[in-house]
Copies of this chain bind each other. A is one copy, B any other.
């Protein structure tokens, strides 16, 4: 076997093996960017049933199981340490995680000397709901982008490209993107998903476009089915992947071989400026445009309701959202509460939709 550490770095390869072991064999200061999607250390209980009684296909693979936070932290520090060594002086590192592990990752990075440049929120357009109604819908994941050290003055950030991409306003730290589903999601011969946590290529597209240059080498120590490699090749970058599961590694190689480096504009990406923001009625109460106790009236003035602090309405014995209560009082199957309800002003009645416009104007 060739000594990877003293040979020039081979690129566009998928190394088989434990990521820390393989990393230790790579030469110092040889890659321009690292993208890492490590195990999240989910600590799940028993089966979770949907309301239709079907079972949620959970991530219960062995590779995601750790005995303790201490064990997870030790693993995290080990691979981060090697990544830092392998990075060029002007390189940068990205990690992605959820609330289960992102605090561990961020702290370890800071402890090892990495200097955080941004944390980025991936807002999912179509997240899995909270089936039991016990928490907020977990609708995002977090990425951390960091330089090797505080002293590092130079790193690649294609500011103007990002700005142009985002309709000529600065790219923000929250990105709205869909999950990887449909055609993009790689399936095995059995029709099941080849990997439980395949990331959308649009996400990697944006990361790579933002923080690397054509010809750069991008290392992914948790290669999986090779989203990083596919995006890198498509965008004219080189990749180095590490994956210990032979099945995943093979899928990745096949996938990347089929990628034609191409003009990237056919990748579906939603700019955060255009990302539509829904204004819930409750936001009017939060913002103080309506107060708890204020009265709303129907178009004919024959119905009246009182606003509550949670944004619901009360009318007699009935309660509900602006839409539900409108439908209920009109005995209609549905009702657009925004155009139905009015409030009193000095100039007479006004639609609550006007208040929504006020809120939208600030967005």
Contact = CB atoms under 8 A, between A and B. Distances in A.
27 contacts: A53-B333, A99-B106, A103-B109, A104-B107, A118-B136, A119-B142, A120-B136, A121-B121, A121-B140, A121-B174, A126-B362, A134-B157, A136-B162, A137-B173, A139-B172, A161-B312, A165-B281, A165-B311, A166-B282, A168-B323, A178-B363, A184-B288, A262-B309, A265-B306, A266-B309, A270-B319, A270-B320
Contacts of A281: 165, 167
A136 B173 contact: yes
A267 B309 contact: yes
A262 B293 contact: yes
A266 B136 contact: no
Given A69-B110, A139-B173, A362-B178, A267 B308 contact: yes
B118 A99 contact: yes
A292 to B, nearest CB: 4
In this complex, the interface size class of chain A, counting residues with CB under 8 Å from chain B, is 35 or more
B292 A266 contact: yes
Interface of A: 43, 49, 53, 62, 65-66, 69, 98-100, 102-107, 109-111, 113, 116-121, 123, 125-127, 129-130, 133-140, 142, 144-145, 150, 157-168, 170-174, 176-178, 184, 201-202, 205-206, 209-210, 235, 262-263, 265-270, 272, 277-278, 280-283, 285-288, 291-293, 306-312, 314, 319-321, 323-324, 332-335, 362-363
Nearest to A268: B308
Contacts of A166: 280, 282
A285 B209 CA distance: 11
A186 to B, nearest CB: 15
Contact of A177 (B170, B262, B267, B286): B286
Given A130-B170, A202-B286, A266-B293, A135 B157 contact: yes
Nearest to A146: B99
A95 to B, nearest CB: 11
Contacts of A283: 177, 202
Contacts of A286: 177, 201-202, 205-206
A118 B316 CA distance: 36
Residue among A120, A312, A362 facing the most chain B CB atoms (10 A cut-off): A312
Contacts of A138: 118, 173
Contacts of A206: 282, 286
Nearest to A73: B107
Residue among A150, A157, A162, A278 facing the most chain B CB atoms (10 A cut-off): A162
Q: 9 closest Cβ contacts across the A-B interface?
A: A103-B106, A165-B282, A266-B292, A202-B286, A161-B310, A262-B292, A139-B172, A165-B311, A99-B119
B111 A69 contact: yes
A135 B211 CA distance: 10
